[in-house]
Structure formats: C-alpha cells, structure tokens
C-alpha cells in the first residue's frame, strides 16, 4: 500500500471519505514524518502535534457523520505569518517572541471550516523578507533536494521556505504560503512543488502579518495542480474585514481541470531573457513552449518593455510599505520588550534587538524613500513605473490568454552562497515581482530537473481572476514533465 504521507490531497480526501483510513491515522503518519525530519530540515518552527491530534479526532467524528467538506481530515502546515488563535505566531522574527494571537486569520479560519488539520507553524524568512529562508530568527530551513552526489545543504527558496520544504519532503499534504514578490512561486520552483499566487484581492489578508500590503497575497503550496486548485478554493473568498478583498464568486477550480488547451494563446515575453541566465533555464523554457505546441496551443511572442524596471521599483515600493507596517513593533503592544531608561530607549532597544539585519535594511530604505524631499524622486516614481508595468500586461493580454516564463533565473543554491550579497539575492525575484506589481495571478509548476539533479519550475501568468485558465494551462506542464518525485530521504 502507498504510505499515507505519499498521498495527494485529492487521494487522501477520497480515501478518508471511503473510510480506508482515519484522519487520525493520516495525521499521525505526518506527525511521525515531521519528528523524523525536522531536526535536519527545520521546516516547522513550531510543530503542534497535540493540537493536530485533537483536530483529527474531531474531524473523524465529522467524517463518521458523513462530512464532505473540501479539506475534511487533511493535515496541513501553516506559514508562521498567519495568525493562529492561541498558537505562537512570530513571522519568524525575534520581535514577535511569545506572541499568541487571540484570533485566526481569515484564510486559516476558512481552512478549519473546510475540515483541515493544523500540523504546526512553518519556518519562513523574517517578516517574509528574503528569497532563501536564511533571514529567519529560527534558523535556516533546508531543501530536501540535494545536488546529485553532493551533500551541500541547499536553500528551499523563500520566503515560504518551510512551506515548500515540508510539502516536498512529504511532512504535510499542503501548506499555506504568502507571496509579495515571489515567495510562493520561487520556493515552489526550488523544491519541485506547485505554488500559486492568486490575483491580488482573491484571498483575504486579514490576520496575516503584513509585509507590503499592496503586494501581499496568500496562496497554497502543494505537490500537484489538482491539490493547488482544491486548496485555493478553500482559502479564497471575499472578506469584509479586508478592504482590498474583492467580492467575486470563487469558481470550483477543481471542476475546471482536465480540459484541453487547443487554441489557447500562450504569450512568450521576449524581455524575460536575462543576461547570464544559465542555458538550461532557456532550454526548460523552450521545452515548455514545445509542450504547449504539442497540446495544440498557439504560441505568440509578446513584449513587456518595462520589465527591467520592475525589480528596482519593487525594492522601493515593498520596503516603503514595510517600514510603515513595521512601525507598530515598538515593545508596547505585542511580543518582545527590551527595557530602557525611558520609553524612547525602550523602543530603540526593542527594535534594535528584535529585528534582524535584512528587516533593518528594508526599514531604513523604506523610511528614506518616503522621507520629505525623496518621496517624489523614489516612491512616487516607483508607483508610476508600477502603472507602466501593469499597462504592459494589459496590452499583452489583448493578444494572449496566458504568459509562459521561467520562474527563477536558476535552480536552488547552497545555504550561505548568496546571503552576503543582497543584490544577488534580489535578482532571484526578477521573473516573479512583475506579477505582484501588476496584481496578477501566477503559478509555478515543476518542469523537470536541472543538470545538478534539482527541480526547475516554469511560471504561468494570467489575467486578473483567471485562475481557472492558469490551472488548466498548468496541467499541460504537469502532464508532460510529471509530478516531481519525492526527494531521496537523507534525513
């Protein structure tokens, strides 16, 4: 029999309904997997096995009563950016030490109403700032994948490194994640998993620790496109508590799967060819184009002329919003408090000791670009560039239905290889930040292996709220490349 930890969400859901195993058995199998792996992978910064068992037992009662809720009995991991009632939530920052929210985020509330079970909180970059999970206060998270014949520990990507690592290592069936500039799609690409960042406004941001509010979106990381569709269906929806949440009905994403892509127009943005990009990334991209041609789709070259300004503009807008959002961490309201002689030195001591280096860099940059005299030169200009980027996409979508690009400019790199060079790190986001700047949905799908034996991903981008087309197109890659295998267990 297949191990319970090898099931997809779809197969586990069906098995639970058919009473082949219980939610408790499924949950216990994942708790055992976490126990065996977490010392090596550091994917969970807070496993919650007791809570998981209690939730599983409650789910078994509902299953016995015939519950067919979308995620009934499915054990998931939750990125430590989502508030979870009574369970420590820190955004992997020292400054939120000991913070136990009095409420759940809307997304997690919806997951629990759909019957899901929480296995624990997942490691991530501090306040989701990073591309490698190396800025976490809880230490590096490790990618379960290694280069062939090489034991160098690799990053799982970031900021949702724990989400990607735990799903790839079969420690949970799926995980929540967030994406401000690529933090769902880049780790998905590095770990052979599927990661979707839905349209801005599709999932509520309420109760998710804010990084850059005009860019942040929640989405799932899973092992298959079908699982992604199932999980996003449970996470998405209108929420009056988030003013940017959009009141558009959530389609049955799973029901839109399995349709062919004959005649679908696929755009290839010519500007997504970076100098110095490894030949194998270009080869994967060409392979993707071939898969769509074979499936009967039409390929069109399109131009997104402002692409080269997206990264610099993002690294003004995101820090600006972060500096404002992070002003609330002052030692008074929640988390860490480092005493001082008076209130000002208490603020200073708390923020100096509570924030890590990357977060301080962003707060400094953000404060600078928002300051009087520089606001027009930096922040306002970046916002104008953002409009131009959005217009590029609008124009492209007059001609095509989806865009196909690489997700990242290279495969997973080694821990420590880029952490000393912020610019090299930021370049990882080159193909993903444009999508956040324009508020569009984007998905990364495993598309085969690098020459080093590690996963590579291709990215698809669609019009606002056209996640159904994204899933449908994503299946073409999944069918051609195959679902990524479980990485060899070395832990």
Q: How many CB atoms lie within 10 A of CB 385?
A: 19
- Closest to ligand GLN by CB, 161 vs 267, is 161
CB 55 within 8 A of CB 73: no
CB 170 within 8 A of CB 486: yes
**By CB under 6 A, is residue 182 in contact with ligand GLN?**
yes
**By CB under 6 A, is residue 220 in contact with ligand GLN?**
no
Q: Which stretch binds ligand GLN (CB under 6 A): 175-183, 279-287, 381-389, 481-489?
A: 175-183
CA gap 358, 363 in Å, rounded: 9
Q: C-beta of 218: minimal distance to ligand GLN in Å?
A: 11
**By CB under 6 A, is residue 91 in contact with ligand GLN?**
no
**By CB under 6 A, is residue 101 in contact with ligand GLN?**
no
CA gap 267, 389 in Å, rounded: 16
- Select from 4, 231, 318, 462 the one that contacts ligand GLN (CB under 6 A): 318
**By CB under 6 A, is residue 183 in contact with ligand GLN?**
yes
CB 204 within 8 A of CB 473: no
**By CB under 6 A, is residue 128 in contact with ligand GLN?**
yes
3-state helix/strand/coil string of 310-359: HHHHHHHHHHHHHHHHHHHCCCCCCCCCCCCCCHHHHHHHHHHHHCCHHH
> Percent helix, strand and coil across the chain, each rounded to 5?
40, 15, 45
Task: Please give the C-alpha separations between residue 378 and each of 316, 325, 381, in angstroms, as whole numbers.
Answer: 7, 18, 5
**By CB under 6 A, is residue 181 in contact with ligand GLN?**
yes
Asked if 159 is an active-site residue, the reply is yes
**By CB under 6 A, is residue 237 in contact with ligand GLN?**
no
Q: C-beta of 291: minimal distance to ligand GLN in Å?
A: 27
Q: C-beta of 158: minimal distance to ligand GLN in Å?
A: 6
Q: Which of 59, 93, 131, 159 is catalytic?
A: 159
> How many residues line the site for ligand GLN (CB under 6 A)?
13
Q: Which stretch binds ligand GLN (CB under 6 A): 85-93, 101-109, 180-188, 386-394?
A: 180-188
Q: Which stretch binds ligand GLN (CB under 6 A): 41-49, 129-137, 286-294, 414-422?
A: 129-137
Which helix (H) or strand (E) covers residue 475, if one does?
helix 467-481
Taking CB positions, which residue lies at the least distance from ligand GLN?
183
Q: Which two tokens stand for residue 111?
A: 């997951």
- Closest to ligand GLN by CB, 157 vs 331, is 157
- Closest to ligand GLN by CB, 131 vs 459, is 131
**By CB under 6 A, is residue 242 in contact with ligand GLN?**
no
- Closest to ligand GLN by CB, 44 vs 211, is 211
CA gap 434, 151 in Å, rounded: 34
Q: C-beta of 138: minimal distance to ligand GLN in Å?
A: 16
**By CB under 6 A, is residue 159 in contact with ligand GLN?**
yes
Helix axes 467-481, 279-294, angle to 10 degrees: 100
**By CB under 6 A, is residue 16 in contact with ligand GLN?**
no
Q: Which of 183, 204, 228, 450 is catalytic?
A: 183
- Closest to ligand GLN by CB, 108 vs 432, is 432
Residue 198, helix vs strand vs coil: coil
- Closest to ligand GLN by CB, 180 vs 450, is 180
Q: How many CB atoms lie within 10 A of CB 420?
A: 8
Q: Which of 22, 59, 79, 132 is catalytic?
A: 79
Asked if 399 is an active-site residue, the reply is no
User: How many CA atoms does the CB half-sphere of 133 hold within 13 Å?
Assistant: 40
Q: Which is nearest to 202 in space by CA: 458, 436, 457, 475?
A: 436
For residue 159, whether the previous peptide bond is cis, meaning omega lies within 30 degrees of 0, is yes
Sign, CA torsion 441/445/451/452? positive
Asked if 79 is an active-site residue, the reply is yes
Q: C-beta of 412: minimal distance to ligand GLN in Å?
A: 14
CB 444 within 8 A of CB 197: no
CB 428 within 8 A of CB 190: no
**By CB under 6 A, is residue 129 in contact with ligand GLN?**
yes
Q: Specify which residues 404 forms β-bridges with.
A: 460
**By CB under 6 A, is residue 321 in contact with ligand GLN?**
no
**By CB under 6 A, is residue 280 in contact with ligand GLN?**
no
CA gap 97, 138 in Å, rounded: 11
Fill in the per-residue mask, 405 to 444: x = in contact with ligand GLN (CB under 6 A), - = not in contact.
------------------------x---------------
- Closest to ligand GLN by CB, 111 vs 433, is 433
**By CB under 6 A, is residue 174 in contact with ligand GLN?**
no
CB 285 within 8 A of CB 249: no
- Closest to ligand GLN by CB, 230 vs 433, is 433
Catalytic residues: 79, 159, 183
> Which residues of this chain interact with ligand GLN, rule CB under 6 A?
128-131, 159, 179-183, 211, 318, 429
């Amino acid at each position: 029999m297949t191990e319970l930890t090898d099931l997809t969400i779809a197969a586990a859901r069906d098995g639970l309904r058919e009473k082949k195993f219980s939610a408790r058995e499924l949950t216990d199998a994942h708790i055992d997997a976490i126990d065996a792996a977490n010392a090596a992978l550091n994917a969970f910064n807070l496993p919650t096995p007791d809570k998981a068992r209690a939730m599983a037992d409650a789910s078994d009662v509902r299953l016995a009563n015939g519950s067919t809720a979308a995620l009934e009995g499915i054990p998931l991991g939750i990125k430590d950016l989502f508030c979870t009632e009574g369970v420590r939530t820190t955004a992997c920052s020292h400054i939120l030490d000991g913070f136990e929210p009095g409420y759940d985020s809307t997304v997690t509330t919806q997951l629990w109403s759909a019957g899901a079970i929480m296995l624990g909180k997942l490691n991530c970059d501090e306040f989701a700032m990073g591309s490698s999970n190396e800025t976490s206060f809880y230490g590096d998270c490790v990618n379960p994948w290694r280069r062939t014949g090489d034991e160098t520990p690799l990053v799982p990507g970031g900021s949702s490194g724990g989400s990607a690592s735990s799903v790839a290592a079969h420690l949970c069936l799926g995980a929540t994640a967030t994406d401000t500039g690529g933090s769902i799609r880049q780790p998905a690409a590095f770990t052979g998993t599927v990661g979707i960042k839905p349209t801005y406004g599709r999932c509520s941001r309420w109760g998710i620790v804010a990084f850059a509010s005009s860019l942040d979106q929640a989405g799932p990381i899973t092992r298959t496109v079908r699982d992604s569709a199932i999980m996003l269906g449970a996470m998405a929806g209108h929420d009056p508590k988030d003013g940017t949440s959009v009141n558009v009905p959530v389609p049955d994403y799973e029901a839109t799967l399995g349709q062919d892509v004959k005649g679908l127009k696929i755009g290839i943005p010519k500007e997504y060819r970076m100098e110095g990009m490894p030949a194998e990334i270009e080869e994967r991209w060409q392979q993707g184009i071939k898969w769509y041609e074979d499936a009967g789709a039409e390929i069109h070259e399109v131009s997104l002329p402002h692409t080269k300004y997206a990264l610099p503009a993002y690294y003004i807008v995101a820090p600006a919003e972060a500096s404002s959002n992070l002003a609330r961490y002052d030692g008074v309201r929640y988390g860490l408090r480092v005493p001082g002689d008076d209130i000002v030195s208490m603020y200073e001591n708390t923020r100096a000791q509570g924030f890590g280096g990357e977060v301080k860099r962003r707060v400094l940059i953000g404060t600078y670009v928002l300051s009087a005299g520089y606001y027009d030169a930096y922040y306002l200009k970046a916002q104008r560039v953002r409009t131009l980027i959005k217009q590029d996409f609008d124009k492209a979508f007059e001609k095509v239905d989806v865009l196909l690009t690489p997700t990242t400019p290279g495969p997973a790199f080694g821990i420590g290889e880029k952490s000393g060079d912020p610019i090299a790190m930021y370049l990882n986001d080159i193909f993903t930040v444009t999508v956040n700047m324009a508020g569009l949905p984007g998905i990364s799908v495993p598309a085969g292996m690098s020459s080093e034996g590690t996963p590579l991903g291709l990215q698809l981008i669609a019009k606002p709220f056209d996640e159904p087309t994204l899933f449908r197109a994503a299946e073409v890659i999944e069918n051609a490349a195959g679902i990524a295998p479980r990485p060899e267990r070395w832990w």
